[in-house]
């Protein structure tokens, strides 16, 4: 099980299902895999992890490969994407600790088995301020929320955070392969 095997699967299924748009291996490695792993820069995934709007498994599957001690729930309503994630989790030997949920998050959190998570992340799912507010409802008290955002959204997110029961654990600045300024901000939910 390795991120290179996951890239093989992405490239193979992308040819027929257009999961991630046209991308070569080098760009996938940098902008999808390494980018996903940056979510763990301040606090590594632990306990029960939620990735909302996972798409083709980003950032959840690279994290599940790199941090095997956690259990991952990947929520994504689109069928082609959940089918791909299910196949990828199987082929990568991750089935025991990765659940793929083919639902919208609003529906999933109404299900009887649902309980808040320890570590919650999403990438490109909703506006960063909306995600931070929503994620509070999906995170256990004392748990962590990871915002993966463009630098342009940082100021409004920090302003909102002043009004919410979160402490900033850390911020990391980096650039995408095309030079876009990006941030990973880790929050601790301190209700």
Ligand X SMILES: C[S@@+](CC[C@H](N)C(=O)[O-])C[C@H]1O[C@@H](n2cnc3c(N)ncnc32)[C@H](O)[C@@H]1O
* Residues lying near ligand X in the complex (CB under 6 A): 52-55, 58, 75-78, 81, 104-106, 123-125
How many CB atoms are located within 10 Å of the residue 129 CB? 17
CA angle 76–163–188, rounded 5-degree value: 55
Q: Is 26 annotated as a binding residue?
A: no
Annotation-wise, does 53 bind a ligand?
A: yes
C-alpha closest to that of 139 among 181, 188, 182, 104 = 188
Residue 70 or 101 having the CB closest to ligand X:
101
Report, in Å, the least distance between residue 95 CB and ligand X.
20
Smallest gap from Cβ 18 to ligand X, in A, equals 12
Nearer Cβ to ligand X (124/165): 124
Q: Which is nearer to ligand X, 88 or 105 (CB)?
A: 105
φ, ψ (nearest 5 deg) of residue 116: -60, 160
Question: 72 - beta bridge partners?
Answer: 49, 98
Whose Cβ is closer to ligand X: residue 80's or residue 91's? 80
CA angle 24, 184, 175 (to 5 degrees): 45
Return binding residues for S-adenosyl-L-methionine.
53, 58, 105-106, 123
Return binding residues.
53, 58, 105-106, 123
């Amino acid at each position: 099980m390795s991120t290179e095997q996951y890239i093989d699967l992405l490239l193979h299924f992308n040819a027929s299902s257009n999961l991630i748009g046209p991308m070569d291996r080098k760009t996938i490695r940098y902008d999808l895999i390494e980018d996903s792993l940056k979510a763990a820069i301040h606090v590594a995934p632990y306990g029960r992890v939620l990735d909302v709007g996972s798409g083709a498994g980003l950032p959840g599957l690279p994290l599940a490969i790199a941090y095997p001690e956690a259990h991952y729930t990947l929520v994504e309503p689109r069928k082609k994407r959940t089918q791909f994630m299910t196949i990828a989790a199987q082929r990568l030997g991750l089935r025991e600790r990765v659940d793929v949920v083919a639902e919208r998050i609003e529906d999933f959190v109404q299900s009887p088995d649902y309980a808040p998570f320890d570590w919650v992340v999403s990438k490109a799912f909703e506006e960063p301020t909306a995600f931070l507010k929503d994620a509070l409802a999906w995170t256990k008290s004392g748990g962590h929320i990871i915002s993966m955002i463009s630098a342009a959204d940082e100021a409004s997110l920090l302003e909102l955070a002043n009004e919410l029961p979160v402490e900033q654990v850390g911020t990391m600045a980096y650039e995408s392969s095309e030079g876009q300024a990006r941030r990973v901000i880790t929050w601790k939910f301190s209700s």
